[in-house]
Amino acid sequence: MTSDPSPTTTRSHEIEQWLHMYEQMFKIRVFEEQVDELYKTAKMPGLAHLYIGEEGVAVGVCEALRRDDYITSTHRGHGHCLAKGAKLDRMFCELLGRAPGYCGGKGGSMHIADQEMGNLGANAIVCGSAGIATGAAFSAKWR
């Protein structure tokens, strides 16, 4: 016979989860502020569509996903990528056009993807990720 977890254990777990989610949102905000600075000082090629103010959406959704779940994104994909587990250094490399980036430095801000974490990529076309998501869902179901 198993007993229910004690209220103290449950509360402690909730606090840890809330702190983790807050840290994730904070990490995304600081990242985006740095991206904005890189863009404003012309150190980053291309455009940057920031995710500032939307951090809770990506973190809330990605916390409910498993590692093997897939996501796609929009032209504001940095938050989704980070919330799904992308590494900061590889994100910055991608945005700066460097080879160690997730897409070899060729995707830039609006086309960033992290295949290992199930992030099928951002897309600069309005509703462009709908086709990607549909294809991924079909592929997963077929397999």
Of 95, 85, 74, 84, residue with least CA distance to 32 = 95
* pLDDT for 2: 57
* CA gap 79, 37 in Å, rounded: 17
Of 105, 80, 83, 79, residue with least CA distance to 92 = 105
Please give the average per-residue pLDDT across 71-94, as a whole number: 94
* pLDDT for 84: 96
Please give the average per-residue pLDDT across 70-84, as a whole number: 94
Backbone CA torsion sign across 23, 24, 26, 30: positive
Q: Are 120 and 72 in contact (CB under 8 A)?
A: yes
pLDDT score of 141 more than 70: yes
Tokens standing for 8?
Answer: 């103290």
Q: For the segment 90-123, what is each residue's pLDDT rounded down to a tens digit?
A: 999 999 999 999 999 999 988 989 999 999 998 8
* pLDDT for 35: 97
Q: For the segment 5-52, what is each residue's pLDDT rounded down to a tens digit?
A: 667 778 888 999 999 999 999 999 999 999 999 999 999 998 889 999
pTM above 0.75, yes or no: yes
> Coil, strand or helix: which one is 97?
coil
pLDDT score of 1 more than 80: no
Q: For residue 114, what is the DSSP state?
A: B
Place of tokens 């905000």: 29
* pLDDT for 10: 82
Please give the average per-residue pLDDT across 124-130, as a whole number: 88
3-state helix, strand, coil in the chain (%, to 5): 55, 0, 45
* CA gap 9, 14 in Å, rounded: 9
- CA 140 to chain CA centroid, Å, is 21
* CA gap 79, 42 in Å, rounded: 21
